Amino acid sequence: MKRIGLLGGMSWESSIEYERLINEGVRARLGGTHSADLIIRSYDFAAIEALQRAGDWAAAGALLAADARHLQTAGAELIVLCTNTMHVVAPAIEAAITVPFLHLADATAAAVRAAGPTTVALLGTRYTMEQEFYRARLERHGLRVLVPDEPDRTVVHDVIYDELVRGVVRDLSRRAYLAVIQRLVDRGAEGVIAGCTEIELLIGADDVAVPYFPTTRLHAAAAVAAALAAPDDEPHETR
């Protein structure tokens, strides 16, 4: 089993979901008392959120890249970033390490393609919905990506930061999200991506009429698969 380094804590509600899902996945695959081999860097999200709000992605990238290197130095053989939004700095992280970095959008796109939809709705923070780093990555996999119009983008973003990252889950917000999703389905969405880890606290597959892609679960499952993949056969020495 490979040791997984988790860059998380953005917010910690999603981080503990990653830890739970990865540990459950390893136990399901290996049985017995097995659990995942993890190294975790958890953050004070207020500090990260301040960098996001200021648009200081360079500082955020430098911070996460340095911590990814620390995880690798501590023995991590695979790095997982437990947040959709901060994949905006994925290139900085990838440049800082020599072990594999499991990109969340790639894991999500693979699941969408396997399920069949080609046009998907993307819900997430304003940064994820409006910037190119995430949508373009999905589009490289042949997907058409729809994001909410205004004022729906503001509703989706504000519920994440004002409620979900603070552990607040409200039925009123669930209904608002479902209305946003329905408008995207009316525009042609054949599935919906929960492109913020905390959205899974609010909306589940049973809440929507189209295929639902919970990125936390998909990313965690991909991390388990990568950690438990058989190593490449080593060449045998000839005597």
Identified catalytic residue from 108, 125, 196, 197: 196
Number of H helices, E strands in the chain: 10, 7
Residue 172 to residue 216: CA distance in whole angstroms: 23
pLDDT band at 232 (very low <50, low <70, confident <90, very high): low
**Domain 104-214 CATH assignment equals 3.30.1330.100:** no
pTM: 0.89
**Among 54, 76, 60, 55, which Cα is nearest to 5's?**
76
Q: What is the pLDDT of residue 237?
A: 35
> Which residue is associated with the tokens 């940064």?
127
pLDDT in tens, 89-132: 999 999 999 999 999 999 999 999 999 999 999 999 999 999 99
Set 82, 83, 125, 215: catalytic member? 83
Q: Is the dihedral of CA 75, 216, 200, 124 positive or negative?
A: positive
Annotation says 154 is catalytic: no
Query: Residue 29 in contact with residue 54, Cβ under 8 Å?
Result: no
Q: Do the domains 4-103+220-228 and 104-214 sit in the same CATH topology, yes or no? A: yes
Q: Which CATH class for the 4-103+220-228 domain?
A: alpha beta
Map out the domains of the chain as residue ranges: 4-103+220-228, 104-214
